Structure 1
């Protein structure tokens, strides 16, 4: 029988055993799960949800940068660069900056819905880096950002 492989698209609660973008040989499978040899060297059963069948190239977050001065704006633009060289952008803010934003007397409309807004405890580089990496590992960063088309 020919070896079969799966590529991790999201780590879920299995960060101790699998890595996004890494390919794993299927040891066994049932209807809902694959048994693979995890990063820790042990065989584990993991839901098929976290994998793509075959050997696939999964773009990973490579780098990011603030596009705005974090002290000048309530909603700060961030550019994300992935390993396939694609770029996306999102907004980041803190709960305190949202309160400041909504305290404006001339806010019109009086609310918003922004799917590409990430709310973080602080805008410290290490905190923003941590949340962006977490969202990427969970396969949520694409949903939390928009394509960046540079001219």
Structure 2
């Protein structure tokens, strides 16, 4: 693997030395500790967790744009979620549901709700439905390489 190029998929706490999506040449590898040594963006050679890279050199998938698929109502008693769809850099489209804490609380306080809780893999809770709040969270998830796991593929059977 030495002298092979790998692509950074998440900088994690190493944003000073790594750039998401950038290709780096492997200088050394420690397979016992799953660490890779590369030349940092700021110059020195440094060890990083191998989990921060696509070792096969494949490009990362980035969020290009997103849009609301539902009308955002400002009813304080609303219980429904809002759906959004996203366009990704590989040409795919994805979607997820958004809740605010208030709407989630309203839903769970319904008298006849069954089951009395929920787990939805493609649900993201936001502070508000303000565009800035949504973009901030989507950008964070994208940079941490978690957006794909927090959304589902969009196809004709899921819309």
Shift of 1:109: 3.5
Measured at CA, do residues 91 and 47 of structure 1 come closer, stay the same or move farther in structure 2, by a change above 3 Å?
A: same
Unaligned 5+ residue runs, structure 1?
none
Q: Does 1:118 align with 2:124?
A: yes
Q: Distance in 1 between matches of 2:105 and 2:11?
A: 33
Q: Does 1:129 align with 2:135?
A: yes
Q: Which of 33, 37, 41 is matched with 1:39 structurally?
A: 41
1:69 is matched with which residue?
71
Q: Distance in 1 between matches of 2:38 and 2:117?
A: 47
Task: Provide TM-score, normalisation by structure 2.
Answer: 0.82
Measured at CA, do residues 103 and 12 of structure 1 come closer, stay the same or move farther in structure 2, by a change above 3 Å?
A: same
Measured at CA, do residues 147 and 107 of structure 1 come closer, stay the same or move farther in structure 2, by a change above 3 Å?
A: same
> Aligned Cα RMSD in Å?
2.1
Q: Distance in 2 between matches of 1:7 and 1:18?
A: 10
Report if aligned partners of 1:19, 1:137 keep a CA contact under 8 Å in 2. no
Q: Distance in 1 between matches of 2:131 and 2:93?
A: 19
Q: Secondary structure at the match of 2:142?
A: helix
Between Structure 1 and Structure 2, how many residues are aligned?
A: 150
Q: Distance in 1 between matches of 2:91 and 2:19?
A: 20
Task: Provide TM-score, normalisation by structure 1.
Answer: 0.86
2:50 is matched with which residue?
48
- Dislocated runs of 4+, deviation >4 Å: none
1:150 is matched with which residue?
156
Q: Distance in 1 between matches of 2:156 and 2:46?
A: 42
2:13 is matched with which residue?
13
Q: Distance in 1 between matches of 2:6 and 2:112?
A: 53
